[in-house]
Structure 1
Amino acid sequence: MTTTSPLRSEDRGNASVTRLSPFQPLTDEQQRLVDSIVRFCERHSHDGHAALVMEGDAGTGKSLVLNTAFQRIQSEARDRDSTRSLHGMRNILLVNHPEMIKLYRNIAATIPTLRKKDYERPTSFINAMHKSEQRVDIVFIDEAHLLLTRTDPYNHFRQSNQLEEILKLARIVVLVFDPRQTLKFKGYWDDAHLRTLLAGIPTETISLTEQFRVEANPDVMTWIRALCDGHLLPLPAKQHFDFRIYDDAARMYDDICQRNDACGQSRILATYDFPYTLNGEDHFVQTGSFHLRWDRNQPTHPLPWAERPESIDEVGSVYTVQGFDLNYAGVILGPSMSYDKVTDRVVFHPDRYEDRAAFSGGGRITDTPRAQCQVMANALFVILTRARQGLYIKAVDPALNERLMLLWKERG
């Protein structure tokens, strides 16, 4: 059985760009929310402050709705013949995720009413606005749960909270917020924290509920949520969504390679439980006979990691797949997750979690162990909800592996 492979065939098309294009067909629910966002911005176009919060589970199409509304507003702002309230406004979309910035800018290059400069990282925007002493009209924020909540000199952010600064620098803020995708203490959010910052600002909240990514019966998402909360339910029933448990990571990788050859956009992912240092060298995920390098950090590469054909020969982390779709995902649950036979629960072990930077800067967090486990569970939820057509899972911990294989046999 192989544990590495030569470069596979080219992925079929650019799935993520198509998915986030403002001209992608929308569901009725998504179209209603796009219209709501545009009307909100029109209604508050002459106000000093207003905020709109869009909530929704992973895979409900929040980024598509946001970018579609942004394109409509930019089209109106740049229409020289328009007499509507949004004409001439200066607007920008922010996202604190380097892979997502590449995706948004690649989309903008194909649409006349958008510019690559319309999309920026929060810190770059904040610093530029403070330097120029300027203010914009509307700021859209994708993945607002990734905004920093403390000073971070390493990333050139010297204020105390990125959202607080953005609220000072824009009249209208439209943000996507999902606290279940918070991955670091320096950006540790909950709903109460958000509401405190928005207190005194006219605020509306809209929600997406229809699952847009995971093409499965509801029992699949129910099982995933339970696992992230430490519970093991009976496995989802057999259905068109291809859900599998593996005893061998190398065999799982071979099957993912076959799915990639057949339909593209299929990758191996892992929890952040294997050593990984940004020092320019390759680092590897190894369990049993499986041995494959972690995703390579290539900030200047024009394509996001999930879009690169060669990434079939790498293991993706939560930081390279958050916000992206795959067709099939093979997920390795590393040593930081174990199984307690007495309580029949999955246990998270922060001391085994290799992403130590995720736990730095938690001075204001009162219950550190609980927050550490929550960050780990959030990261797990992100990587388990990337796949549209199939999810394969392999656990490294012997007890957890045994329990999952028993559930697999019981499903038959």
Structure 2
Amino acid sequence: MPDQERAILEILKALFDDIETRRRSTMVVAGSPGTGKTVVGISLIKTLRDIATARGVDEAEQGNAISDFFARGYPEMLRGMRVGMVVPQQSLRTSIAKVFDRAPGLDRTMVLTAYDVGRAEEPYDVLVVDEAHRLNHRANQSSGSLNHAFRQINERLFGTDSLEFTQLDWIRARSSHNILLLDAEQTVRPADLPPEVVGEVVGEAKASHLFFPLKTQMRVKAGADYIGFIKAVLAGGSPALPDLGEYDLRLIDDIGTLDALIRQRDREYGLSRLTAGYAWSWKSDPKKKGMKRIPLAERPYDIEIDGYRWRWNSADKDWITSPHALDEIGSIHTVQGYDLNYAGVIIGRDLRLDGATGEIRFDRTQYHDKKGIENNRRRGIVYTDHEIERYVKNIYAVLLTRGIRGTYVYVCDEALRDRLRALVVRSS
């Protein structure tokens, strides 16, 4: 796509200029869901590796803009440089590592966590950070060992465990040039980088002419109009349904119909999955004591609606292609960053329509992601319902923009279902 190719070319020009003049730099690639941020990141690293080895340009490609970087001087500039890609999300990191394994000149050791960067003996020359908005600030991590590691890395890099240091600070301290792929509206937990931190780094990049926006849709066939429609609906507006072309957006009134449709689409097109907001507890969590000893078919169900039952995703790595995915429901933590042909989205009772105000509101009693509502005791931050509502609406915006060909929506709150029916029009 021209939008992504333009961004890659402009980033390479800026990067080589900074390398040549020995300037440290932070670049930002920003775009809505489906604009190809991950594709740009992987392509950048592949191109840098190819230039370093003077590999990858044949006669048919000679003379295009990027081929100019294979000329004398540029390969020498990159030779011996340490390059890596940081992926905060475990599931997506596993999938990208597989891509790196298959690509000539790349290997999975180049795919890193923020902790890998913080612990590394040698600094990196170039780091690309996918889903950079999912980097953490100083908040309670998922385990005691990671809390200990967070403190150790801060002390090692900065001499003190200041509560102000974030994983973004690690990236910037341990790389001369970092390229952040982000969308501030895809933060989904309070532990993610705070909006003010993201805003500050975006502002710095714009002031330095190192901000590269992506606007062309690579995922959703309905394009940017659909993305804007979804965002407006979740914000409580009553937008007109845009012309979606052949994109199949439907509000489904019966949960059994939703399940059957997704199975049918999976047979026809593949990669069609059910997803949901975190409005049900995870009874079948394989990390619970003794759960792994219980056969999958005998584990408790997590989600029950009108007699239909499902378990949450039993695989936390690359769930979408796992053997049992079609019989399970994926959460935000296993689908963010992925593409589906058709997405079935269940909007749980964590979002409801306020009958008095007509606004879409968050219901804390129906939200079961403990990390999603956890206060930051270290920093003395108590998150209000209004603040958590922003994360929950971001979650649903991500889920509703996974489908390439179509999205089917089931809404648990009856009043909210009626509101969306009036907006979507087409229903089944």
CA distance in 2, matches of 1:35, 1:78: 19
* 1:51–1:203 contact (8 Å) kept in structure 2: no
Aligned match of 1:346: 360
* Matched residue type, 2:47: R
User: Secondary structure in 2 aligned to 1:44?
Assistant: helix
CA distance in 1, matches of 2:39, 2:223: 22
Cα shift at 1:104: 1.4
User: Secondary structure in 2 aligned to 1:329?
Assistant: strand
* 2:85–2:127 contact (8 Å) kept in structure 1: yes
Deviation digits for residues 151-184 of structure 1 (CA, Å, limit 9, x no counterpart): 5344332233101011111110111121111111
Deviation digits for residues 45-86 of structure 1 (CA, Å, limit 9, x no counterpart): 142411110000010011101110111112223459964222
CA distance in 2, matches of 1:335, 1:316: 17
User: Secondary structure in 2 aligned to 1:230?
Assistant: coil
CA distance in 2, matches of 1:101, 1:168: 22
* 1:42–1:86 contact (8 Å) kept in structure 2: no
Q: Which runs of 5+ in 2 are unaligned?
A: 56-69, 155-164, 292-298
Is 1:371 aligned with 2:387?
yes
* Matched residue type, 2:255: A
CA distance in 2, matches of 1:105, 1:224: 31
CA distance in 2, matches of 1:407, 1:375: 23
TM-score, normalization by structure 1: 0.84
User: Secondary structure in 1 aligned to 2:346?
Assistant: strand
User: Secondary structure in 2 aligned to 1:114?
Assistant: coil
The percent of aligned pairs where both chains have the same amino acid is 26
Aligned match of 2:419: 403
Paired positions, count: 378
TM-score, normalization by structure 2: 0.81
Residues 95-244 of structure 1 mapped to structure 2, 5 A cutoff: 95-127=87-119, 129=120, 132=121, 134-151=122-139, 152=141, 153-155=144-146, 156-158=149-151, 159=154, 160-190=165-195, 192-195=197-200, 204-216=210-222, 218-237=224-243, 239-244=245-250
Aligned match of 1:381: 397
Aligned match of 1:54: 29
Aligned match of 1:31: 5
Deviation digits for residues 366-388 of structure 1 (CA, Å, limit 9, x no counterpart): 76332211111111111111001
Aligned match of 1:263: 269
| Aligned-residue CA RMSD (Å) | 2.6
User: Secondary structure in 2 aligned to 1:389?
Assistant: strand
CA distance in 2, matches of 1:370, 1:252: 30
Distance 1:369 1:169, change over 3 A: same
CA distance in 2, matches of 1:282, 1:306: 21
CA distance in 2, matches of 1:67, 1:238: 30
Distance 1:221 1:202, change over 3 A: closer
Aligned match of 1:19: none
Is 1:68 aligned with 2:43?
yes
1:337 to 351, 355, 360: 351
* Matched residue type, 1:326: L
* Matched residue type, 1:104: I
Cα shift at 1:221: 2.1
CA distance in 1, matches of 2:411, 2:356: 19
